[in-house]
Amino acid sequence: MSSNTYPLSGIVVIEIGGSLAAPFAGQILGDLGAEVIKVERAQGDDARKWGPPYTAFPSANRNKKSVVLDLRKNSDRESLRRLVSERADVVLQNLRPGHLDEIGMGAEYFRDLKPGLVFCNLGAFGKDGPFARRPGYDPLMQAFAGIMSVVGEEGRPPVRVGPSIVDLGTGMWAVIGILCALMRKRETGVGATVDVSLLETAITWMMGYVSRYSATGEVAKPMGTGQAGIAPYQAYAASDGRYLIVAAGNDSLFQKLCGVLGQSQWATDARFVSNGDRFANRQELNDLIATEIKKETMEHWLTAIDAVGVPCAPVNNVKEMLESEQTKALDIIRTIPGGGEIEHVMLPLSFDGTRPGGRTGPPTLGQHTSEVLAEPTKVG
């Protein structure tokens, strides 16, 4: 593996916290070559106990070293102080909002101690406002930001997006902020305090709905697999019970879809001539398309619709996705040394055609405490 594949080699990150958002950010930084030292309490990251199966922790904590410190003890707070002041380029933390400030070890303390430090607070509801000190998890933010209100089908109870998109997204924003701060430090020698939060990420994911509400005053409702403002743009059931997403997002694509479905006359039907017409009459249009799709298997339509250049895709489950030749060709799913029996999802990016790999599996609790605390001061 080329050293260029690990652009953060030489960067030391101290990760303090647990669950998913901050560990995911730490894992990204570790995958990119940073040395990530994960500071855990004696009980360990809560994610170690999520299960069975106990796969939550391994999926977000490869390429890290685990150090156990009890920050209620003066001696362990001193160990953290030394670790940060002598070795760290970055501190990433998502403890209960305000906790590190309460024990005198927040961003201000460490930035005064080490002006070049990049300190990233990953919070719940954000650093300001009446909810600033509240803890929070992914489903709370999906609820508060309105994500649940637009997921699922109209007339049914609210539905949470299955993947933890708020946790994972906030981890990504943390990494973006950290990398920007490191770039600025390279020019100025001065670090930064980066603040990200679950709620801000969740609100950001709602940007399309926000702009639509601003323009129309209409509160969005859930549309199943559909998309506001575009039709046809949803999943249809085939004869074998499998579903196919069809995304005919412009007039030309719609005309091609009509042809392959054997219904060319739809393209000149006054109800469906333009996208605006199609969206206004989407229920009638979707019923017509559903009737045609139901006549053949999903694979039949996938092949036929793709052949005329209309975007489409099967609605896969996890097994089907993993077994797809496309997924296999990307080499994004791998087993890694010390990573246990589970398969790991690598970073969704490559450098000069090479995807960074998992160098080490997730650490056992406290595995590196003695090693890390005994290491010499970082030079530079």
Point out the residues of the chain with pLDDT beneath 50: none
Its sign, for the CA torsion 144, 145, 147, 153, is positive
Measured CA to CA, the distance from residue 244 to residue 316 in angstroms comes to 9
Residue with tokens 């649940």: 148
pLDDT at 5: 76
> What are the Cα distances from residue 120, in Å, to 30, 221, 284?
16, 35, 51
Domains and CATH numbers, the chain: 3-205+328-374 (3.40.50.10540), 233-314 (3.30.1540.10)
Kindly name the residue from 31, 138, 167, 195 that is annotated as catalytic: 167
A 10 A CB-CB count for 339 gives: 17
At 375 the pLDDT is 78
Distance CA(264)–CA(267), nearest Å, equals: 6
Entry pTM = 0.94
What per-residue confidence (pLDDT) applies to 379?
A: 53
Number of H helices, E strands in the chain: 16, 11
Cβ neighbors of 293 (< 8 A, separation 6 or more) are 236, 237, 238, 244, 246, 261, 301
- CA nearest to 60, candidates 222, 174, 193: 174
pLDDT at residue number 2: 55
Whether 101 is catalytic: no
**pLDDT tens-digit map of 273-307:** 999 999 999 999 999 999 999 999 999 999 999 99
Cβ-based burial of 33 (10 A; exposed 0-12, middle 13-18, buried ≥19): buried
Task: Find where tokens 């030309």 sit.
Answer: 252
| Residue 337: predicted pLDDT | 86
Q: What pLDDT score does 358 carry?
A: 85
What is the rounded CA–CA span in Å between residue 92 and residue 11? 13
